[in-house]
């Protein structure tokens, strides 16, 4: 029970990695706020946690909206009494080059993948600081570290997540707040399957290519969740500003 009595927020909590991490946080004893644009799916995850004897609430929100972030933080403080852990994980991808990307799509990708993390930190850091500290984990990507093809706005946004994480760690380390990024390779989720659709590629072929790495397979959401639990817990008490790569040995 590495997160016993900790209060946690998971954004994108209804999706592949977010759901797995919400379940893992709850299994470690945390009270979990499952936050997602898809309120119904978030409620299903919260219900799954409660059915297993855990503690969870669901909150429908668009993390790119400051009003929604303020509502989420206020509701978690009201309901749980504070915030110890945040997993900023909601994300979207557009598989387009610079030439193909519209300004609206660029702004939306940055709104969800980057601005949301800034907004969450803006509103949650003072609460954590007043309580002596906390742990924030942001979802980057292997492509935020080395880039990738036909995903310009996504690669730029995830690079921003990795460096924003370092800057947050520097600013808020003295307040006892650790901030790290987890950087997955290809993980078997709805997002990955949607990429095949966006690229107009055969899904089986796309997924086979995603498995081309030293461990010879895609990652499972629970394998990212395990890393996030470690970063969220006191087991990683001297780790901050790091970019933890969980990618089966490298992106093909
Ligand atoms: P997913 O599509 O299964 O889950 C993403 C969740 O975020 C969905 O439930 C969606 O409703 C939610 N969401 C989207 N926009 C939102 C918004 N504005 N406000 C609140 N919630 C919103 O995708 P997956 O794979 O679980 O992705 C989670 C994170 O992992 C993302 O940040 C993604 O970029 C990152 N990632 C995923 C990889 C993969 O191969 N699946 C690889 C590297 C990074």
Segment 98-110, tens digit of pLDDT: 999 999 999 999 9
> What residues line ligand 1, using a CB cutoff of 6 Å?
11-12, 14-18, 36-38, 61-64, 89-93, 112, 139, 141, 184, 186-187, 189-192
252/214 Cα distance (integer angstroms): 9
Domain-located, residue 19: yes
Is this complex's ipTM strictly greater than 0.90? yes
Number of the ligand 1 atom closest to the C-alpha atom of 68: 19
Domain-located, residue 111: yes
Give the total number of structural domains in the chain.
2
Segment 127-154, tens digit of pLDDT: 999 999 999 999 999 999 999 999 999 9
Element (DSSP H or E) covering residue 177: strand 177-184
**Residue range of the domain that includes 212:** 187-218
Q: Are residues 151 and 208 in the same domain?
A: no
Output the pTM of the full model: 0.99
3-state secondary structure of 7: strand
The reply to whether 154 belongs to the active site is: yes
Domain-located, residue 60: yes
Ligand 1: centre distance to CA 130 (Å): 30
Ligand 1: centre distance to CA 78 (Å): 26
Q: Bridge partners of 57?
A: 33
Segment 3-57, tens digit of pLDDT: 999 999 999 999 999 999 999 999 999 999 999 999 999 999 999 999 999 999 9
Domain-located, residue 251: no
Q: Environment class of residue 249 by beta-carbon count within 10 Å: exposed (0-12), middle (13-18) or buried (19+)?
A: exposed
- Which one of 89, 117, 154, 229 is the catalytic residue? 154
* Cα dihedral 244/35/136/245 (nearest 10): 0
Q: Are residues 109 and 191 in the same domain?
A: no
């Amino acid at each position: 029970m590495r997160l016993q009595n900790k209060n946690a927020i998971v954004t994108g909590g209804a999706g592949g990695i977010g759901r797995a991490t919400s379940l893992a946080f709850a299994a470690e004893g945390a009270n979990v706020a499952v936050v997602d644009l898809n309120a119904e799916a978030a409620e299903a995850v919260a219900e799954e946690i409660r059915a297993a004897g855990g503690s969870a609430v669901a909150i429908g929100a668009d993390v790119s909206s400051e009003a929604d972030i303020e509502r989420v933080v206020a509701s978690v403080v009201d309901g749980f009494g504070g915030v110890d852990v945040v997993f900023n994980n909601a994300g979207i991808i557009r598989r387009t080059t610079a030439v193909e990307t519209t300004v609206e799509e660029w702004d939306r990708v940055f709104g969800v993948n980057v601005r949301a993390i800034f907004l969450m930190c803006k509103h949650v850091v003072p609460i954590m600081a007043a309580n002596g500290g906390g742990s924030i984990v942001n979802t980057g990507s292997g492509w935020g570290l080395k880039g990738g093809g036909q995903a310009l706005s996504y690669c730029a946004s995830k690079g921003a997540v990795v460096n924003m994480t370092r800057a947050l760690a520097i600013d808020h380390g003295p307040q006892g707040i650790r901030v790290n990024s987890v950087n997955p390779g290809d993980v078997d989720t709805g997002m990955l399957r949607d990429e095949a659709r966006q690229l107009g590629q055969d899904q089986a072929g796309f997924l086979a290519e995603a498995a081309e790495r030293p461990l010879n397979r895609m990652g499972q959401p629970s394998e990212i969740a395990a890393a996030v639990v470690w970063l969220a817990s006191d087991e990683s008490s001297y780790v901050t500003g790091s970019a933890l790569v969980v990618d089966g040995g490298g992106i093909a």
